[in-house]
Amino acid sequence: MTTLFGLCDCNNFYASCERVFDPSLNGKPVVVLSNNDGCVIARSNEAKALGIQMGDPFFKIRNLVEHKHLHAFSSNYVLYGDMSDRVMQTLSLFTPNVEVYSIDECFLDLGNFYDVNLFNYAWEIKRTVTRWTGIPVSLGIAPTKALAKVANKLAKKSAKANGVLVLTEPYHIEKALEATKIEDVWGVGRQYAKFLKNHHINTALDFTNASENWIRKHMTVVGVRLHKELRGESCLELDEVAPPKKGICTSRSFGKKLTTFEDILEATASYAAKCAKKLRNQKSCAKLVTVFVQTNPFSENDRQYYNSKTICMPVATNSDIELIHYATLSLKAIFKPHYWYKKSGVIVTEIVPETQIQFDLLDTVDRDKHNSLMKVMDGLTDRFGRSKVHVAAQGISKSWLLKSDYKSPCYTTRLEDMPTVFI
């Protein structure tokens, strides 16, 4: 069977989302910042042209806001998630089999489309997505996922391709591999790129010409899979249904350095509640909860500390109340006074479906009561917005809150102005 994959990805996705709702930003340099307005995580083409790099700390480029009319936005994930759904829904009209690979990327199974004019079809997809959602996209089509990635990258880079590239002819595939630097290949990160270049493998084409045994020896079976994929042998299938997550993590840097147990507990309790909500969304429970804390590694004058503690809970749970309880115990075990803390996080693992929980004979928790309480809380959250109802440990001072000074309005959602309720 001959395989054929499309990879559609949104150009400069977060920056494009901000533009959809404020067209006056078109043609101007735009960046979107990470949580806490820490560093740059998305750039419009104009921002790239100013020399701004992915991951640049915002404080180092802040001067460009004034001097180069740079527009900077705090990240607004609710908006981006919503726009992502619209793009994915539009794409799924063009083939029944799609894999949402990330918030801004989607693989399309085009295995049944060999007899249509792929070039025209690709353009139809691109035009429709842009017309219906306002988000510009690029589309690469090729016989394997890794080659579709190559095609997508060139589609974006080449002025001639202008956002669409179909790679089905061996000659075109070879030319594309030759034009792709090894560090730009999907699955080749910084370490492998350095290693491969030391062995005179500078392009994707060089990589396909290396021996499989040599690659297995130095890059494990993952490298071998990539080798096959780039040579046109499809090894990676389309994963239409996302498998349930094996671990869920919520962690943030604080808006400022914290030192008291109470402040850090408030933040950590909130992260525990977020993990519980993520678990409920995927209808599962977790048995292990890990809490970590750390100081700011960039503050060279501060004494540094990192520690984590994992607790195995008696029964797997997805209740805010229980997770906060055990997260608190974990935090108590690792918290040390007189440090300036910058970040904490909660990780839940050993995740099982809600319906397959091992109960404990000595369990004293009224689980039915917890479950119905969580249902009520989720219902209120859905109606009135996030953080309107929560467990008291999450506190009201919120001195740990993230900085988010440049956030755009919630264009696609509306949060009612309701008072916060504690339980």
Residue 368, Cβ neighbours under 10 Å: how many? 8
| Angstrom distance (rounded) from CA 244 to CA 77 | 21
Residues that bind DNA (CB under 7 A): 34-36, 38-39, 41, 55, 57, 59, 101-105, 149, 185-193, 220-222, 243, 245-253, 257, 274, 278, 296, 298-299, 342-343, 345, 347, 402
Would you say 227 or 252 has its CB closer to DNA? 252
Would you say 73 or 192 has its CB closer to DNA? 192
Would you say 63 or 420 has its CB closer to DNA? 63
Least Å from the CB of residue 175 to DNA: 22
Least Å from the CB of residue 123 to DNA: 23
Would you say 85 or 124 has its CB closer to DNA? 85
Least Å from the CB of residue 230 to DNA: 13
Say how many CA atoms lie within 13 Å of 361 toward its Cβ: 0
Least Å from the CB of residue 116 to DNA: 27
Q: Let me know: does 265 contact 328? Beta carbons within 8 Å.
A: yes
Least Å from the CB of residue 115 to DNA: 30
Least Å from the CB of residue 114 to DNA: 26
The residue type found at 246 is: K
User: What are the structure tokens assigned to 113, written together?
Assistant: 């489309």
Note the helical H segments in 245-317. 261-281
Element (H, E) at 310: strand 306-317
Would you say 80 or 121 has its CB closer to DNA? 80
Strand partners, 284: 353
Q: Let me know: does 236 contact 149? Beta carbons within 8 Å.
A: no
Would you say 100 or 121 has its CB closer to DNA? 100
User: What are the structure tokens assigned to 148, written together?
Assistant: 């579709």
| Angstrom distance (rounded) from CA 370 to CA 165 | 53
User: What are the structure tokens assigned to 351, written together?
Assistant: 């995740």
